[in-house]
Structure 1
Amino acid sequence: MAKHITDPMMTGFRLEDLISENGVTFELGDEFREDDDDEEFSYSPYVQFSNEEMLNMLNMNGFEDENDRDNEKGSVSLYGMSFAKLRAKMTNLTADNKVMKFIKQKGVGEVVPANAQVTIHYIGYFEDRDEPFDSTYSSGKPKTIRLNQGYIIPGLEIGLSTMQKHEIAVFLIHPDLAYKAQGCPPRIPPNEEVVFVVHLVDYLDDGSADTYQNLKIEEKKSFKHVVEPVLHMLVAAKDCCAKFNTKQAIRKYKKIIDCLENVQLIDSLEEKEMNELLSKAYTNLAICYNKIELPRNACMACRRVPVPTVKTLYHFGKALLNLGEYTEAMKELQKAHALQPHNENITQAIQTTNAKQRQYLEIEKRLWKNCFKSGEKQTKVNEFRKVMREFCETIINDSYVKILCIPEGLTEEELQIVREEAATLGLNVVTSTRYGKKTMYLQKRKT
């Protein structure tokens, strides 16, 4: 029968397990699953609108004339509006008048840079059609694209390159810079002018981030070819963190690490620069894991950091604190404190760790005092159960600690009381075997 390991990331396994006749099976908990269906931008909820509702919200008052003002709604919709009327109000973006623009709402900041990653909401219309042929509003999710990569029609590329963040603009595009003579039947007719109403939600100047995918196999092994895409990918990952899209940031940091760990270095200067980039990526990956309450993963990331910084040591200590590894947490935090003795966050973390460790040791002492083998069993059971319940409540009421080691050496009868009290209070009892040593933990359940 195959050996079953419930938590290989924590317990480890031996080579003989893999090559044994019966083999080995692994079980990964929910914390190692990544939800690929999470929203791309956490600040933008999945709110669905009809296209007509969105056009009313983005009303076209800038195109109204005297005859339109009798409209009882007070706004002009693209429904039924002739492109000739639109053209009369627009300015040219190209010398041949094939891309024209009207600014409905002014933006802020700089114009979108070349090769930027843009996030947009849009509606695309053909003339005399009742419904748009394309829209992001029906799903409630903006679209993120890279400019100058051939992902969108040339006329819209030209239009987007003139926009600012938060700008809403209307573009009228000639067929030559849209879908041309062939179109894309049946949805897109041939030789059709098109109007796009575009809201530039955000942009990110990391246009080189995708160039890694275009590198040749030999170039992906060269640090000098990989370093620029990696720098831009770090910018993109940081942007995800700023938008609280932590899971997306984790995926990006993992990709960065994979890129760097596959290069071949030619000298010590490249090694030094790569280690700095790897340290940054692993440290930020650990921070992300701490944010989504996966301290074990954070610890693994911190252990892979080539050149630990104060930030690395601090977040390593926080992860160990969350795992109830107080002695190890104190070691990392003390290292951080030695480098930045006046850092208040580090000082506070040390104080917290000290307090938690004293509390744990006190409860552990009481458990040993009341264990069955230290006296009359009948007089010990109730007191042991009482202390065990306090031990469980300590974890439940502690916002820092997610998992805590059960003291070693308890009898099976005592461990049964541990399981009963844990079940009553909604905690899991998990067992880990590493290098032949069996350890039991109390763990908070995922909500």
Structure 2
Amino acid sequence: MDPLFTEPIPLSEGINVRELLNMPQEVKLDFKKKREVFHKDDDIFATMDDDSSDEDVLATIEKSVDDTMLASPEYQSFADLGAKMVECVCPSGGVRILVIEEGDGPLVSLDSEVTFHYAGYWEGASIPFDCSLTTKTGAPLRQRVGTDMLPGLAIGFLNVHGPSARFQLLLAPHVAFMECGAPPRIRRAEHVLFVITLYDVRTLHAAAAFNDLPREEQAKFDVAINAIKDIRVDGKRLFEKQKYKRAIKSYEQAISIINLTRPETEQQEEEIKNIKIKIFVNLAVCYCKIDKPKYVITMCENIDKYIDINTHCKALFYYGKAHEMLGKTDDAIIYYKRALKLEPKNKDIGKTLADLDERMKKSALNERAMWQKAFDTNVEEKVVYDVDEEFKKSVIDMCQDLAGNEDFAKFDLPSGFTRDEIECLKSLTSQFEGLTVFEEGQGTRKKISIIKKQT
């Protein structure tokens, strides 16, 4: 037998307590599979709330985290490990925790949504039987505390500060997979060790609850930040669904809340400033999407109140975008070039400038051709008359005879010519110097003559 199968096999799908009795059968052995790439909007810089995006969450996951998840912690036995842990408050007991790295922020609450990586081990196993890194996407899980989550996991999360924390949980069977388990994948009546890395904590419904708080409570920094974080996540979700006007309302609400905040330290003041800048950038992106260039400029001007906008690549780009939408191409190029100077290797900005330059060249050529056509007197309009070639030849022969006559001459033409024949006659006669067509009378009585003037 392959030595790999002497150890528990990680599942390709994470364990869901509701699906515990119907475990997926696919097995994923490629632990180092490349993580999922999150798609961006087609527009440049369109990804909203850079600091809270899935891309940035994944960007923080280093190889050391992979090693931590996929290599069993060192211990002699669960009893030995449990002696180093702290018992969590739980009516039925059975949850012990060891915090490896304390997170920043308040304790995780029941109304929170957590984003985390995990790995589960049976006692004595060197590789996990289940790990979020070995799922199809390799992405962190995002779950609400207590919903579709093992009871012991939920209790563990309530005992850590988030976001950014690392901890281990030792769960008894009755707070994990129960006494029955789900053989052969989930063993019966066995303790399980979970190694967890927490990346993000979002307090759900914080924005709705904020309005019900007294003014003194609303002014508190932590209270406002929690509400704003919730709103920004909602704004990003609406933006990704292309509901730009609703996203704008969310971000405007966040600005209103943050304006009520009373920071107590310089660090809090700096954080508020940075949050405002990010929200104004997001608003600029949204207004650009709904074709409101003047509002985009207003958002960029707000950014300029807090930092020198010439140091912010994204703001400069949308400043240029707004001017381009208003037809102020020269100003747009100035801002695009400033943005490119900050990020010389940014291909999107370079392409935007190149496309704009190409459109300007085509526009200049079209304008030049239009004015040439308007003022070029050498251009003759070629007119096609409904006459036969024999008629044209007869007219030309007659005109040549008259032009060669040195004396005054007049040649009267018979009546009955069509309109096209008369117009053709005038056109051909005008090509001979000194000849002109003379018309006299109206209708059937009209007389037409070709006259050579005396010089």
- When normalised by structure 1's length, the TM-score is 0.43
Whose Rg is larger? 2
- When normalised by structure 2's length, the TM-score is 0.42
